[in-house]
Amino acid sequence: MSTIEKGYTFGTTELVTNVKLHTLIDSATLSETSADIATNASIVSTAGAKIVNLYSCSAGSISTITGMLTNIPFMLINRSSGASLALLDASPFLLNGNVTPNSVGSNITLVWDGTNYIELGRINP
């Protein structure tokens, strides 16, 4: 989920000028929301985030992911050397082999097609 922060805030009686309008747009910032996975999570609840952070988890394998938007890619990123969650190449996951993100920075990009999570790519440094 993305959030846009205004680059300028108008007062209730303030007039709009070209300079203020340019500042509103040019100084605006866009931030990407990420979801964090709790320790020992077996079901990932992403709330529609495009980036999902995996921390020290010891739940074995993820059997389902909830909260994903259809046809919108998302990335699972290992943020802790203690994470031991795995994704298995079995329904509902269509992967290029099992995934165990065991090093910090390792990640996998998936897309939910309404039935399956399809692997788009992975990095395991």
- Yes or no: say if 49 and 21 are a contact pair by the CB < 8 Å rule: no
Q: Which domains does the chain have, with CATH numbers?
A: 1-32 (no CATH), 34-123 (2.60.120)
Give per-residue pLDDT as tens, 35-44.
655 444 456 6
For the chain, how many residues are written? 125
- Classify strands 107-112 and 117-123 as parallel, antiparallel or unpaired: antiparallel
Q: What is the DSSP string of the chain?
A: -EEEE-S----TTPPP-HHHHHHHHHT-EEEE-EEEEPTT-SEEE-TT-SEEEE-S--S-B--EEESPPBT--EEEEE--TT---BB-SSTTEE-SS-B---STT-EEEEEE-SS-EEEEEEE--
Give per-residue pLDDT as tens, 22-79.
888 888 876 555 565 544 445 667 777 888 877 766 556 777 788 888 998 988 888 7
- Report the predicted TM-score, pTM, of the whole model to 2 decimal places: 0.66
